[in-house]
Structure 1
Amino acid sequence: MLLKLSDLHINDYTAIVNKLNRKKVVLGFDGFIDIIVKPIQSGHVGNNPDYFETLKSFGNYISSRHELSGSIELETIMEKIGGNVPNTAAAMKSLGARVVCIGALGYPERHPLFLETFEPEEMISVTDPGQCISFEFQDGKLMCALNKSINDMDWNIIKSRVPLEKLMDLYSMSDMLVFVNWSELPHAGQIWEGVYDEIFTKIPEGKWVLFDLSDCTRKSDEQIREGIKIIRKFAQKSRAILSLNENEGKSVSQALFGKALAGEAEGRRILEYTGASVVVFHHLDKTFSFTPDETYCFNNYLIKKPCISTGGGDNFNAGFCCGLLSGLSVPQSTVLGSLCGSYYVENAKCATFPGIYEYAGKLANGKML
């Protein structure tokens, strides 16, 4: 079913915000400090430089340095909180949900950048954050991660720094669980298994649970199948959501079915294979959501000159999940997620419901097309 902007049809967003104010989301387990940069093609910072506009042009330049050498000046655009957990949590909080982040937020003292966005009670930190230098282009981004102590974080370290009883209470009282960045956390599978075995099987069933694997290109097909196997276990006792961008969808499809495709047929096959309640493909131009009964498609509003792209997928996930948490339907949540992602990429800040309401109105009236 092709969705339109009017399918969002939210008449009273204050009622939705009031619902979200009573919903708690627990997210784990990463945390980064992002340094957003633009590589300079000619000129210098402070003197109207020309940037590499596309990832392709930047790649061509790098290739041209083969057997030579080169130097590239970077202009820092901003330094901000990063990682899928902080980005998603910040966006969900902006929409009205109550959040608790578990992960690499600074240990023993929390990193001051996280304290600018979250209250102390919204953060449970078990190690220091990694660092990510994100190269921004009009057609995408290149993220270079320095994982540091994140690579050592496993389930035993988490339990040694957060009492299991506290984790049990948090997950038991939550309305949604969020598991993200499986690909960049070396022990993510072991952590997810630990949560399932020691906590999830002992708390009420039927919760919403979001999974986002992140860029899987470094993972083997066998590793991806192992990750999906864990998701299938959760899906038996929850309303599981698997959210994938186009690249991730192709990686999962390749691992499960032997073809690197991410179209409607693959989405439905992944839904059936995982047992999830919803599978989402958030491509650059379209968003697909798959349920056992229907396939929905929404044409995304494309930003010609992005202000930022790092975190766009996290803001999509936040909008989609907040829609479901507030009682919106899957098609409504699909449109909301797409708008939240576009709003963030265009404005470099998380959406609020008043902001999205105005944004959707401008789109509907053709003022931003």
Structure 2
Amino acid sequence: MDLKQLRRAVADDLAQLPTAAFEGLPTVMGFDGFVDNIIDVVDTRSARDAYSPLATIADFGARITRAAGHSANFELVVKQTKIGGNGPIMANALAALGHAVSYIGILGEGQLDPAFQPLAERAAAVYSLGNPASTDALEFRDGKLMFGKLEPLEQVSVENLRSVVGEDRLLQLFSAANCVATVNWTMLLSMNEIWDYLMAEILPRLTSSQRPRWFVDLADPAKRSREDLRQALQTLGKLQAHADIILGLNEAETRQVLEVCGSSWEGLSEDLGMAETSCRYLREHLGLSRVVCHMVKGAAGASKDESAGVEGFFEPHPKITTGAGDHFNAGYLWAIAAGQCERSALLIGTATSGHYVRTTHSPTKEDLITLLSAS
């Protein structure tokens, strides 16, 4: 089958998918939380309510370079203030697709920040460890620049998990979980400690014989040391003894993990064949259940039994890009949990992000069927 036929076949499968395959699946996620400001950098302003934004990062960079030795003033227009953080965005997307999500993160002190209200309304439960961090995301046609205020992330700790959620409740949540996702390892400096705590105190006490599917997103580890990354990957290998670990990467992250594992990306950017080969190598080298790599125009993944690479739903003029990867991750995990094969899961993941960048909204199953059928 060609790509259109494959997409329509997946749409037909989704239309016949029983509700029990996805509706209400218990899912535990954590642990970050951001308020995202989506921003244009003004190039020229023609009126109080009319302006042209700088089109590319290169244009912005050139303006900054010309200001060296002088000074410059940039006007920023906040187009949207929204739910942010890898965890809340992915959790919101999974909840929109029917999972019963229990989210643990930094969502507000005393009461939830309004940005997280959509998640609170969709989720089965939310547990806040403190006030959220924030990100100013400057968006351009060729990418985005994200400026984060990260001090609140220090509230994410084993101590706060124990005091806010409690070990008894953690045990209940993880015992019931069909899926788990722990994301944004790069910014959460306590993530390794949290994984170790869960392996020592919670996971050995689970009453269920079910192994949860456990999604991990490193979230751009370039600013962490190679030794930190190496230790995290070793910890994931240990975590595999308790759950089926799915390591989610983008192309840049795949290149970084390959380097730490003694290999390299031997090909051009967006090379689906190289992405699939890399996923197979990393899955076997790290001893994980699955490795998946999403790129701008496609995605690839590998399990013990199969691997695949697919073209995605590339949108040259997206309405939003911040959170696209988190939506891919949500769609992919949702599909795997629903029993889809690797190729179908990749198509569903790319459709989830494709719908999001076109509409700014997290899709329902019916939205996925519409996009897959129309392609």
TM-score bracket for the superposition, by shorter chain length? over 0.9
Residues 7 and 331 in structure 1, CA contact (< 8 A), matched pair in contact too? no
Within a 5 Å distance, the mapping from 1:317-328 to structure 2 comes to: 317-328=329-340
Structure 2 CA distance for partners of 1:68 and 1:280, relative to 1, 3 Å: same
Runs (4+) of structure 1 exceeding 6 A deviation are none
1:126 and 2:129 are equivalent in the alignment? yes
Counterpart of 2:204, as a letter, is T
Whole-angstrom distance in 2 between the partners of 1:46 and 1:135: 21
Partner of 1:197: 200
Partner of 2:219: 214
Deviations 1:93-121 (A, max 9, x none): 11111101001011232223212332385
Deviations 1:164-222 (A, max 9, x none): 11111001111011010000112121112212221123224521100000011101111
The share of aligned pairs that are identical, in percent, is 26
Q: CA deviation at 1:301?
A: 1.7
Whole-angstrom distance in 2 between the partners of 1:82 and 1:158: 20
Structure 2 CA distance for partners of 1:47 and 1:170, relative to 1, 3 Å: same
User: In structure 2, which of residues 265, 270, 294 is the aligned counterpart of residue 282 of structure 1?
Assistant: 294
Counterpart of 1:315, as a letter, is H
Whole-angstrom distance in 1 between the partners of 2:278 and 2:21: 34
Counterpart of 2:134, as a letter, is Q
Stretch deviating more after TM superposition (64-73 or 260-269): 260-269
Stretch deviating more after TM superposition (261-270 or 124-133): 261-270
User: In structure 2, which of residues 235, 241, 244 is the aligned counterpart of residue 239 of structure 1?
Assistant: 244
Q: CA deviation at 1:10?
A: 2.9
Stretch deviating more after TM superposition (314-323 or 260-269): 260-269
Partner of 1:255: 260
Residues 91 and 119 in structure 2, CA contact (< 8 A), matched pair in contact too? no
User: In structure 2, which of residues 97, 104, 107 is the aligned counterpart of residue 105 of structure 1?
Assistant: 107
Gaps of 5+ in 2: 267-273
Whole-angstrom distance in 1 between the partners of 2:275 and 2:2: 14
Counterpart of 2:372, as a letter, is A
Within a 5 Å distance, the mapping from 1:26-45 to structure 2 comes to: 26-43=28-45
Deviations 1:139-179 (A, max 9, x none): 21111111132124211122122211111100111101101
Gaps of 5+ in 1: 364-369
Residues 206 and 237 in structure 1, CA contact (< 8 A), matched pair in contact too? yes
Whole-angstrom distance in 2 between the partners of 1:141 and 1:339: 21
Deviations 1:320-357 (A, max 9, x none): 11111122222211100011011101110101111111
Partner of 1:74: 76
Whole-angstrom distance in 1 between the partners of 2:72 and 2:177: 51
Counterpart of 1:99, as a letter, is V
Q: CA deviation at 1:82?
A: 0.6
1:154 and 2:166 are equivalent in the alignment? no
Whole-angstrom distance in 2 between the partners of 1:220 and 1:329: 35
Q: CA deviation at 1:22?
A: 3.0
Whole-angstrom distance in 2 between the partners of 1:257 and 1:60: 36
* RMSD, aligned α-carbons: 2.0
Structure 2 CA distance for partners of 1:121 and 1:183, relative to 1, 3 Å: same
Partner of 2:12: 10
Partner of 2:185: 182
Aligned residues: 363
Stretch deviating more after TM superposition (272-281 or 57-66): 57-66
TM-score by length of 1: 0.92
TM-score by length of 2: 0.91
